[in-house]
Amino acid sequence: MVELAPSAPGHRPPPHPDGEPLVQLRSLSTGYERTPVLRDVDFTLRRGEFAGVVGPSGSGKTTLLRAIAGQTRRFAGSVETHPRPGERALRLGYVPQVEAINWNFPLTVGQAVLLGRWREMGWRPWPRRHDRELLANILERLGIGHLADRQIRALSGGQQQRTFLARALIGDPDLLLLDEPTSGVDIKTRHEIMHLLGELNRAGTTILMSTHDLNAVATHLPRLVCVGEGELVADGAPEDVLTPEVLRRTYGADMLVLRRGDAIYVVEHLDDAMTGEGDSEETPVPTTPVGG
Amino acid sequence: MGDLTEPFQFEFFVRGMVAATLVGVLCGAVGVYVVLRSLAYIGHGLAHSIFGGAVVSFVSGISFYIGATLWGVFTVLLINAAARRRQIGGDAAIGIITTCAFALGVALISRHGQFTRDFDAALFGEILGITSGDLAVIGGVLALAAAVVFAFWKQLLFTTFDSDVAGTYGVPVPWVEALFSLVLAATVIASLQVLGATLIAAALVIPPVTARLLTDSFTRMFTMAAVLGGASGLVGVYVSWFVDVSSGATVVLLQGALFVVALAWAVARSRWPGTGSGERLAAIEGATLD
């Protein structure tokens, strides 16, 4: 018997708020060079949403984020964005996977964050007073105000994530795209990052993040998009999306879904995986309230 | 005392010294981007490739600078295009394209049988044969590089740090890369007469790596690399007069000595906690000459 603490009812905002569309992908097939990674994807993200993308490695999670950022090759379909009035393009704040960052680069926290404002800083190589004030404010807001002159490698995992979150936020983005922001960090840091993202979302920032972490991250998000083998398998609130059938189509493996109140917990069929009996005729365990 | 000022009586020496200082500053500054993009090998390859271009321009009867510039930019763009193919990769692309361009030059020389003194200078450098025209070209390239770095400081920094993410923030990455290719090709061509194809790679790599050992800030690394490059050019040529050794080799050996001093300092400091030198030591791993 797995005991799950019931979470407070109604803690998640609705998965599809009434905001106007910010990004619309229509029948999009996209990838790199001559290889499509995502096929025939229809997806709409509205202003004010906080959505997560889940799926196994190589399924196309990062490609979905990069397609929205216009950094992939489009084979078919369209990507439509809705910038602010008077602006030609959507303002994006992109936070890459920590593994993709060159931590040995001779860059201080302040220099790294100001890169997110390269356009607004004008022609000068150096920041103006207004830029320095904005930098100080954003670093202070994220709790790393004392680290502006520290080299990016000489930071803890949480501080590194906050630095690149600050770079994304200093450009006042319409949309924050985060590629696995909780990967490789400890539990406390993960809590801090998710708490911070929740605050930003409540303050009006639209967020789309990919994650591997179904239980500690994905189940707490208002909206989940499941991507499996380059296709969008499901899209909706976690309680609707996280079913054994959807998980099997997304991950290609049997999983148990345990529920209690609002709490959801996904468990791998480890016994079957260990004994090699995973493909038995046994019906997958249905979505079942546990403990109650 | 008279002996120490003796070389300054000769105009060719003063010209050579100014040229070596300017080339040192130029290679040190441009080399920061080369090293941080893990392209240490490109300086070496490009210099050899441009040697091929120099031969082609000689055989076709066009100006060395025009022929070599076109050849150099074409080579870098070709390397960039080939490097984007995942099956090839940057290091292999540099290896294939630059050695083929070099081989073409060697083939043309053996066909025409005219391995002139100019080509000797292109391979090994001939600093004391610098003309006023060469000096003007070096000054012009330095001005071009300074203007590009000043005007595109943030874009160059962002694409050097992470070109994929720079694109998502609206940096026109292909244009910035093409501009950098132009500056790099022009730098190698301007440095060819001073250092020769065989020593340019050292001038592009050693001062930036030495600077990296001394700082964690990009701005300071850039400034230090330019100052170290310029100072070693100035002092190296001056010393070469007295020790009667090739000027280009003296400049590079001096840079090597400065690197060893900086490395020793960084190793000593890494034993003191909280200095950051340990991280800097780790950071230059792999940034050595091939």
Q: Does A100 touch chain B (CB under 8 A)?
A: yes
Q: Which residues of A touch B169 (CB under 8 A)?
A: 92, 94, 115-116, 118-119, 171
Give how far Cα A184 sits from Cα of A62, A82, A180, B74, B279, Å. Answer: 16, 33, 9, 42, 20
In eight-state DSSP terms, residue A151 is B
pLDDT at residue B258, rounded to an integer: 96
Residue B16 located in a structural domain: yes
Strand partners, A175: A92, A206
CATH label of the domain that carries residue A234: 3.40.50.300
Instruction: Tell me the nearest-neighbour CA distance from B154 into chain A, angstroms.
Output: 6
Measured distance CA(A169)–CA(A14) in Å, rounded: 24
Q: Is residue A228 within 8 Å of residue A250, measured between CB atoms?
A: yes
Same-domain status, A70 and A118: no
Q: Is residue A187 within 8 Å of residue A157, measured between CB atoms?
A: no
pLDDT greater at residue B86 or residue B211: B211
Average pLDDT over residues B45-65: 79
Q: Does A105 touch chain B (CB under 8 A)?
A: yes
Q: Is residue A95 within 8 Å of residue A165, measured between CB atoms?
A: yes
Q: Which residues of A touch B166 (CB under 8 A)?
A: 115
Residue found by looking up tokens 């260990």 in the block: A274
Q: Is residue A52 within 8 Å of residue A176, measured between CB atoms?
A: no
Instruction: Tell me the nearest-neighbour CA distance from B22 into chain A, angstroms.
Output: 22
Interface test with B, best of A111, A113, A177 (most B CBs within 10 A): A111
User: What percent of chain B clears pLDDT 90, i.e. is strictly above it?
Assistant: 38
Interface test with B, best of A66, A79, A94, A147 (most B CBs within 10 A): A94
Residue B289 located in a structural domain: no
Average pLDDT over residues B255-280: 80
Nearest CB neighbour to B216, from listed A69, A108, A121: A108
| pLDDT tens-digit map of B169-190 | 989 998 998 899 889 989 988 8
Measured distance CA(B236)–CA(B16) in Å, rounded: 11
Segments forming the whole domain that contains residue B24: 2-283
pLDDT at residue A1, rounded to an integer: 33
Single-letter code of the amino acid located at B245 = V
Tell me which long-range contacts B103-112 makes (C-beta under 8 A, separation of at least 24). Answer: B103/B52, B104/B52, B104/B55, B104/B56, B105/B51, B105/B52, B105/B53, B105/B54, B105/B55, B105/B56, B106/B52, B106/B55, B108/B52, B108/B55, B108/B56, B108/B59, B109/B55, B112/B59
> How many whole angstroms from its chain centre is CA A67?
14
Residue A108 located in a structural domain: yes
- The continuous run of DSSP H or E covering A251 comes out as helix A244-251
| pLDDT tens-digit map of A235-258 | 998 888 888 899 899 988 888 888
Segments forming the whole domain that contains residue A107: 98-172
Residue A196 located in a structural domain: no
Same-domain status, A102 and A61: no
* Cβ–Cβ gap A121/B36 under 8 Å: no
* Cβ–Cβ gap A154/B276 under 8 Å: yes
pLDDT of residue B75 exceeding 50: yes
Measured distance CA(A32)–CA(A28) in Å, rounded: 13
Nearest CB neighbour to A125, from listed B150, B162, B276: B150
Nearest residue of chain B to residue A65 (CA atoms): B168
Q: Does B165 touch chain A (CB under 8 A)?
A: yes
Same-domain status, A79 and A123: no
* Cβ–Cβ gap B170/A123 under 8 Å: no
* Cβ–Cβ gap A125/B154 under 8 Å: yes
Alpha helices, DSSP H, located in chain B: 2-5, 11-36, 40-60, 64-83, 90-112, 117-124, 132-151, 153-168, 173-195, 200-214, 218-243, 247-270, 277-283
What total of structural domains would you count in chain B?
1
* Cβ–Cβ gap A153/B169 under 8 Å: no
Q: Are strands A50-54 and A206-211 parallel, antiparallel or unpaired?
A: parallel
CATH label of the domain that carries residue B102: 1.10.3470.10
Residue A256 located in a structural domain: yes
Same-domain status, A81 and A31: yes
Strand partners, A51: A208, A223
Instruction: Please list the ranges in chain A whose pLDDT falls under 50.
Output: 1-11, 277-292
Helix count (H) and strand count (E) of chain A?
8, 12
In degrees and rounded to multiples of 5, residue B151 shows phi and psi of -75, -30
Residues 6+ apart with CB under 8 A from B25: B142, B226, B227, B229, B230, B233
* Cβ–Cβ gap B154/A108 under 8 Å: no
In eight-state DSSP terms, residue A108 is B
* Cβ–Cβ gap B279/A151 under 8 Å: yes
Nearest to A265 by CA among A13, A10, A3, A12: A3
What total of structural domains would you count in chain A?
2
Q: Does A108 touch chain B (CB under 8 A)?
A: yes
* Cβ–Cβ gap B279/A104 under 8 Å: yes
Residue B197 located in a structural domain: yes
Same-domain status, A51 and A71: yes
Same-domain status, A181 and A166: no
Give how far Cα B34 sits from Cα of A113, B47, B157, B191, Å. Answer: 23, 14, 12, 15
Sheet with A206-211: list strands edge to edge.
Answer: A92-95, A175-179, A206-211, A50-54, A223-228, A231-236
- Size of the A and B interface in Cβ pairs below 8 Å: 84
Same-domain status, A78 and A185: yes
> How many whole angstroms from its chain centre is CA A7?
22
Measured distance CA(A239)–CA(B204) in Å, rounded: 58
Same-domain status, A146 and A236: no
pLDDT at residue B152, rounded to an integer: 96
Residue A246 located in a structural domain: yes
Measured distance CA(B263)–CA(B209) in Å, rounded: 10
Residue A198 located in a structural domain: no
Residue A156 located in a structural domain: yes
Nearest CB neighbour to B154, from listed A33, A105, A118: A118
Same-domain status, A182 and A73: yes
Residues 6+ apart with CB under 8 A from A124: none
pLDDT at residue A46, rounded to an integer: 94
Instruction: Tell me the nearest-neighbour CA distance from B169 into chain A, angstroms.
Output: 6
Instruction: Tell me the nearest-neighbour CA distance from B7 into chain A, angstroms.
Output: 40
pLDDT at residue A193, rounded to an integer: 87
In eight-state DSSP terms, residue A114 is H
Measured distance CA(A82)–CA(A24) in Å, rounded: 9
Nearest to B159 by CA among B148, B142, B173: B173
Same-domain status, A87 and A129: no
Give how far Cα A129 sits from Cα of A136, A173, A179, Å. Answer: 10, 21, 32
Residue A2 located in a structural domain: yes
Q: Does A188 touch chain B (CB under 8 A)?
A: no
Residue B177 located in a structural domain: yes
Same-domain status, A111 and A149: yes
Residue B192 located in a structural domain: yes
Single-letter code of the amino acid located at A64 = L
Q: Which residues of A touch B167 (CB under 8 A)?
A: 69-71
Q: What is the CA radius of gyration of chain B?
A: 19
Same-domain status, A154 and A179: no
Nearest CB neighbour to A94, from listed B150, B165, B219: B165
* Cβ–Cβ gap A96/B167 under 8 Å: no
Query: Could you give the ipTM of this predicted complex?
Result: 0.81
Q: Are strands A206-211 and A231-236 parallel, antiparallel or unpaired?
A: unpaired
| pLDDT tens-digit map of A52-105 | 999 999 899 999 999 999 889 999 999 999 988 888 888 899 999 888 888 999
Q: Does B174 touch chain A (CB under 8 A)?
A: no
